[in-house]
Amino acid sequence: MKIAVLVSTGRHPVSGATVLSRLEAQAIRLAAGLGEPLGLHAGPEQAVLREALGQGLVRGEHIVVPDGVDPVPALAARLAATKPDLILAGRRGQGGDETGLVPYALAETLDLPLIPDVVAMASDDEAGTLRLDQSLGRGALRRVLVRGPLVVTIHPDAPAPFAYAYGQARRGTIVPLDAAPGTVEGTGPTVEERPYRRRPKLVKGAPTGGSAAERLKAATGEAGTAASGRLLVDPDPDEAAREILAHLRQIGVLAPPTRPSIP
């Protein structure tokens, strides 16, 4: 299986140093479980690609694209030429010039399906198909069976990246490529950049008026839905089990009881 991992120039969230984004490092680890992935980076510098080589990549291709130029056409041209079965990317950018839209733009350009937020991948029994576990948030997963080629973005809940190995970074090869003619133009979608602003968090079901004590009660569960719980002291095990089942059904974790069908 041919796998391409898109490598972007990330920024460390604290130090601001140029680093490989963690999601892409996780993508490399997932890809390494399926085959030997090829790294693909479009940009002026190859330093990030070198770091990716230290974290599990063996080979990387560096498409030289000047600073500030949209990398999508160059990447799309290269991917259209190499035709990988699977294209992996992070689910969002990590600082720098990233928009997090590249996988979507590529999927659109190449006319491929995109599966977002994947945490695990495995080859299925049937040749050419993949079993992907997609994160739906809060630990919920959805398993999808797909057939390539497709674009997949990685969720932070995927396995942690490989440790960086200096010797492997030194050994890996980077192939510098010129961008396909006609692809080095345009600056991509214009985006507006605004500093992050904290927004007030709305508490669901909280009384808009009332005293602070009432709002606190609503927020901490002393009133509202959470207050409707029942306290059983030293209950009979059967009764306790029934209560728990009833509660789980009420909040939708368990399906409603199936009635025995009447013949």
Specify the residue, 53 or 218, whose C-beta has the smaller distance to other proteins: 53
- Closer to other proteins by CB, 4 or 48: give it: 48
**Residue 33 touches other proteins, criterion: CB under 8 A:** no
**HEC profile for the chain?**
CCEEEECCEEECCCCCCEEECHHHHHHHHHHHCCCCCEEEEEECCCHHHHHHHHCCCCEEEEEECCCCCCCHHHHHHHHHHHCCCEEEEECCCCCCCCCCCHHHHHHHHHCCCEEEEEEEEEECCCCCEEEEEEEEECCEEEEEEEECCEEEEECCCCCCCCCCCHHHHHHCEEEEEECCCCCCCCCCCCCCCCCCCCCCCCCCCCCCCCCHHHHHHHHHCCCHHHHHCCCCCCCCHHHHHHHHHHHHHHCCCCCCCCCCCCC
Of residues 2 and 11, the one with the C-beta less far from other proteins: 11
Choosing from 15, 211, 228, 258, the residue that interacts with other proteins (CB under 8 A) is: 15
* DSSP-derived pairing of the beta strands 150-154 and 38-43: unpaired
Nearer to other proteins, 104 or 164 (CB): 164
**Site membership for other proteins, residue 17 (CB under 8 A):** yes
Q: Which is nearer to other proteins, 56 or 84 (CB)?
A: 56
Is 261 a binding residue for other proteins by CB under 8 A? The answer is: no
163 vs 241 by CB, closer to other proteins: 163
Residues near other proteins (CB under 8 A), total: 18
**Using the rule CB under 8 A, is 166 a contact of other proteins?**
yes
Residue 8 CB, shortest distance to other proteins, in Å, is 15
Binding piece for other proteins, criterion CB under 8 A, among 128-136, 166-174, 192-200, 250-258? 166-174
Residue 12 in the binding site for other proteins (CB under 8 A): yes
The answer to whether 196 contacts other proteins (rule: CB under 8 A) is no
d(CA 215, CA 86): 50
Q: Segment near other proteins (CB under 8 A), from 50-58, 113-121, 138-146, 251-259?
A: 50-58
Cis before 149 (ω within 30): yes
Our finding on whether 208 is near other proteins (CB under 8 A) is no
**Among 162, 174, 215, 243, which residue interacts with other proteins (rule: CB under 8 A)?**
162
Where on the chain is the footprint of other proteins (CB under 8 A)?
Answer: 12, 14-15, 17, 19, 54-56, 160-168, 170
